[in-house]
Structure 1
Amino acid sequence: MMRPSLLLLMPEYRVDEQMSGIGVRALDLASAMESHCEVTIISAQPSDLPDPPCRILPARTTDIAAWIAAVDAVVFFDLGAPEWLRCAVHARRFIVVENAVPLEHLEYNSDLPENARADTYRRYVRGFRAQVAVADHFLTRSEIERHLLIGALALEGRLAPKDIGISRRLEHLVTNVPIGLSRKDLILSHSTAPDPNLYLWTGGLWDYMAYETALDCFLGDLPGKHLRFLYRPAADQPLRAHKVLLERNLPPEHISFLNRPLPHSQRGLEIEQGAGLICLGRPGIENETSVRLRLRDTLLYRRPIIIDGNGASGEYVRKTGIGITLPELNASALRDAIVALEPSSRMYDACLAAIDQERKTCKLDLTLLPFLQAGQAAGWRPTRRIGDLLVALDRALEGGPSDIPAPFLA
């Protein structure tokens, strides 16, 4: 039996040595899928990764429409361009979407006038509704994202009583694939002795992160401890962080920044130098409803994490014990956590044991199985008529009502 062919389509994102978290996520999924499928990634740039798990093609020199027509299934990430979604519908491809209800987008484009921000956000919502209208299967990264997505499916007319008869957990439509590791990750990962005084800021989008709390902590009473930021704010973005960092007197013996872009293949060498990782997010709906992709660093490189308690990421750390979830988001609570996580402490050893236990259960090769089974059960082909799909797609992109045509409700 021939293996199905999957196209991971992300022409807006890099999958190379300078990729962001969503590129790492796609690469991890490809690595876990490749033993079951023929996988190809189309990304924004030519890839310079030393040992990619699959073929990676640059969007600018690739006939994307031809690739969509040639494969069995197309996996869309984030809010991909609607024209490629329409192309996949016309080609009768099995459409898969990894995305979440657009909540973090409420804070995007903060430098624009309010009317422009509202118009831009409406486009995000229409793009998400288009995906909900036509996708055959969905991948989520956490239970809270799964629950929100299922609510969106119900509101868009994608659910009917018959679906409960197929699967009471709707696994034929949605597979939750939490942050995890592939079999290859587990084989290649290793760990070296850390510097007990070095902590690393892995952070995320600066607008969402509580970096001031970390600055206040390491500028206070933490003798001998050092905080290294693994990246700087993007120079071409109008971020408040630029002003904050310029105004602070940051003594290099306490706080430093990695002064070069960190290649993906060298990330482990940098992270393993530190005793622990720090990733603090601001309170907000984005934080409450998502799990940060960089939790992968803790699992892969066996470094406990200190995280805020404002959302799903903090709940995950609290539940699994792979680090410390702060009871309050302030410098004093962070300082207490750093003291408790001394590499020679019982707490540190307990976190390492929890990380080792979680590594046994967070295997992408296993969590992807319901998705692969759903695709196989459908013959990797859509079951709905192309005309109905195109009507639903047009309604969603035009911002029309979510009264989906009859085939969705049959």
Structure 2
Amino acid sequence: MTVGRRIAIITSDVLTATMAGPAIRAVNVAAVLAAEGHDVTLVSTSTCEIERAEFRCRRFGWDELQAGVAEAEILIVQGFVTRDAPWLLRSEQILVIDLYDPMQFEQLEQTAELPRLARTAALDLTTRIFNDQLVRGDFFLCASEQQRHLWLGQLAAMGRINPANYDRDATLESLLAICPFGLAEEPPARTGPGIRGVAGIGEHDKVLLWAGGVYNWFDPLTLIRAVQQVSHQHADVRLFFLGMKHPNPGVPQMQMAWDARELSDSLGLTDRHVFFNEGWVPYDERANFLLDADAGVSTHLMHVETSFSFRTRILDYLWAGLPIVSTGGDSFGELVATAELGVRVEAGDVAGLADAISRVLYDPEFAATAAANAVAMRERFTWPVALAPLVRFCAEAKRAADADGDLRRLARQPVIPTSALGRQLMRASTLRHEGGLGLVAGRTLARLRRVFGS
């Protein structure tokens, strides 16, 4: 029987009725671990407006966080949390790092419009944050086999593939485990209205659902052009974008979202064949939208982000038993093809995408087979199954085998930039990491005094 441990799960995402992927994952990690008998506290450093009977939900600001989780034996963190709470890296608590979202690849697209220096600085900071986490973490989570290969390589570069960790477990699964995003065990049930009944979408129209946000690494433009082609033969085709505004105010609207609206408007499709939900559907209401759809779609561009992505929206399509149209190149695109869940298409292929849409919406036999296969597949991705390695770790959690070992790896530094400006930016990043913006400002003021006199 599991001996309950005190566990704190920390996210910087908002815990509200309208939640995005990081918050959804944190909530479900908390629920699964609480069901195992652990004493769980879920913490947002941003906003917390939810309550759960099985675990505590709290909001701690950055200045409150260390005291707020001081009693926890195990800390589970995600994203950039350690940037604003660097004390986590010095803590003696067992530290689990959730690496399910390799954001460095997303940022290559997200920062594409920035000047080169600013773009490079953003990527350097993200890489350093991940490297610091990889040096300190006791257990790491990723979402797929492809991601595991990525993070094993980075762990090796940071000195973590060493005799101590290898001798404890030659597979290194006790150091880095695959815990994909999950879905609810219960099938979706309607609780209210969804897509149908919206102006322009009738009860008998064929609805293709884009179940998520529109980000720069996705490709809604090819999809919109394909829907235009389909509409020439099928006047009842409807494409519905579920969320155009991210619920976290810290996430800016992406250029691709703007481009999608502009293209749809220019083709005369908006509110006729293409519809944009201006906000973000509450997490507990998304089933109503999924149940109103006839098929789900996910299209993306082909770049390095694709190889390591894990398209969480496709899980909702499995949950609802929807036939799927997806671009290939990522783990789910391959699954769509091999498990006959729908149609896999090539990136940027308008005609091929139009044919795929027509097949999942207007070929009843094909659609029924794909839907049945989706229903059969969803058990594989329920949250308890997806998080089983984390459950096993928490049952007997301990520090990594090399926690008290070769401290030389903690002293490793990035390559020193050759330019004076690069060295100054690196120094400022180091000071902010060690002491926050106050330390940066203090050191800058002291230097100015030395140069110009007090």
Measured against the shorter chain, the TM-score band is 0.7 to 0.9
Instruction: Tell me, in whole angstroms, the C-alpha distance in 2 between the residues paired with 1:326 and 1:64.
Output: 46
- Residues 91-140 of structure 1, C-alpha deviation per residue, up to 9 Å, x if partnerless? 31101111155322222322321011111211111100000000000001
Q: Which residue of 236, 242, 255 corresponds with 1:239?
A: 255
2:189 aligns to what? 190
CA distance 1:322–1:55, change in 2 (3 Å): farther
* 2:190–2:288 CA contact under 8 A, matched in 1: no
Instruction: Tell me, in whole angstroms, the C-alpha distance in 1 between the residues paired with 2:290 and 2:154.
Output: 38
* 1:226–1:254 CA contact under 8 A, matched in 2: yes
CA shift at 1:232, angstroms? 2.3
Q: Which residue of 222, 228, 239 corresponds with 1:227?
A: 239
* 1:199–1:276 CA contact under 8 A, matched in 2: yes
CA shift at 1:327, angstroms? 4.0
**Gaps spanning 5+ residues in structure 1: where?**
401-410
Matched, 1:108 2:124: no
* 1:304–1:348 CA contact under 8 A, matched in 2: yes
Instruction: Tell me, in whole angstroms, the C-alpha distance in 2 between the residues paired with 1:106 and 1:133.
Output: 24
2:318 aligns to what? 299
Q: TM-score, normalised by structure 2?
A: 0.78
Matched, 1:250 2:269: yes
* 1:190–1:301 CA contact under 8 A, matched in 2: no
* 2:16–2:50 CA contact under 8 A, matched in 1: yes
**Gaps spanning 5+ residues in structure 2: where?**
197-202, 417-454
SS of alignment partner, residue 138 of structure 1: strand
1:407 aligns to what? none
* 1:233–1:239 CA contact under 8 A, matched in 2: no
SS of alignment partner, residue 67 of structure 2: helix
* 2:139–2:400 CA contact under 8 A, matched in 1: no
| Range 133-142 or range 156-165, more displaced | 156-165
Matched, 1:154 2:156: yes
SS of alignment partner, residue 186 of structure 1: coil
Q: Which residue of 325, 343, 360 corresponds with 2:344?
A: 325
CA shift at 1:325, angstroms? 1.2
2:42 aligns to what? 41
Matched, 1:310 2:326: no
CA shift at 1:162, angstroms? 5.1
CA distance 1:303–1:195, change in 2 (3 Å): farther
Instruction: Tell me, in whole angstroms, the C-alpha distance in 2 between the residues paired with 1:320 and 1:179.
Output: 19
Instruction: Tell me, in whole angstroms, the C-alpha distance in 1 between the residues paired with 2:317 and 2:29.
Output: 18
| Range 70-79 or range 163-172, more displaced | 163-172
CA shift at 1:346, angstroms? 2.3
2:132 aligns to what? 130
Instruction: Tell me, in whole angstroms, the C-alpha distance in 1 between the residues paired with 2:344 and 2:68.
Output: 44
SS of alignment partner, residue 226 of structure 1: strand
Paired letter, 2:381: C
Paired letter, 2:189: H
SS of alignment partner, residue 180 of structure 2: coil
Please show how residues 8-407 of structure 1 align to structure 2 within 5 Å.
Answer: 8-11=9-12, 13-36=13-36, 37-49=38-50, 54-60=55-61, 63-84=64-85, 86-99=86-99, 101=102, 102-161=104-163, 163-181=165-183, 185-187=184-186, 189-190=188-189, 197-220=206-229, 221=232, 222-232=234-244, 237=253, 239-243=255-259, 245-246=261-262, 248=266, 249-327=268-346, 329-342=348-361, 345-378=364-397, 380-381=398-399, 392=409, 395=412
Instruction: Tell me, in whole angstroms, the C-alpha distance in 2 between the residues paired with 1:125 and 1:33.
Output: 30
Q: TM-score, normalised by structure 1?
A: 0.85
Instruction: Tell me, in whole angstroms, the C-alpha distance in 2 between the residues paired with 1:291 and 1:147.
Output: 14
* 1:93–1:382 CA contact under 8 A, matched in 2: no
Paired letter, 1:179: F
* 2:208–2:238 CA contact under 8 A, matched in 1: yes
* 2:165–2:401 CA contact under 8 A, matched in 1: no
Instruction: Tell me, in whole angstroms, the C-alpha distance in 2 between the residues paired with 1:386 and 1:393.
Output: 11
Instruction: Tell me, in whole angstroms, the C-alpha distance in 2 between the residues paired with 1:143 and 1:285.
Output: 15
Instruction: Tell me, in whole angstroms, the C-alpha distance in 2 between the residues paired with 1:149 and 1:188.
Output: 33
SS of alignment partner, residue 57 of structure 2: strand
Paired letter, 2:72: V
1:404 aligns to what? none
Instruction: Tell me, in whole angstroms, the C-alpha distance in 2 between the residues paired with 1:373 and 1:16.
Output: 29
SS of alignment partner, residue 34 of structure 1: helix
CA shift at 1:365, angstroms? 1.6
* 1:103–1:286 CA contact under 8 A, matched in 2: yes
- Residues 20-62 of structure 1, C-alpha deviation per residue, up to 9 Å, x if partnerless? 1221122222222221222222114443447575322123398
* 2:14–2:46 CA contact under 8 A, matched in 1: yes
CA distance 1:240–1:361, change in 2 (3 Å): closer
CA shift at 1:386, angstroms? 6.8
**Largest Rg, 1 or 2:** 2
* 1:206–1:233 CA contact under 8 A, matched in 2: no
Instruction: Tell me, in whole angstroms, the C-alpha distance in 1 between the residues paired with 2:53 and 2:27.
Output: 8
Paired letter, 1:158: R
* 2:98–2:140 CA contact under 8 A, matched in 1: yes
SS of alignment partner, residue 132 of structure 2: helix
CA shift at 1:90, angstroms? 3.7
Q: What's the Cα RMSD here?
A: 3.0
* 1:68–1:87 CA contact under 8 A, matched in 2: no
CA shift at 1:214, angstroms? 1.5
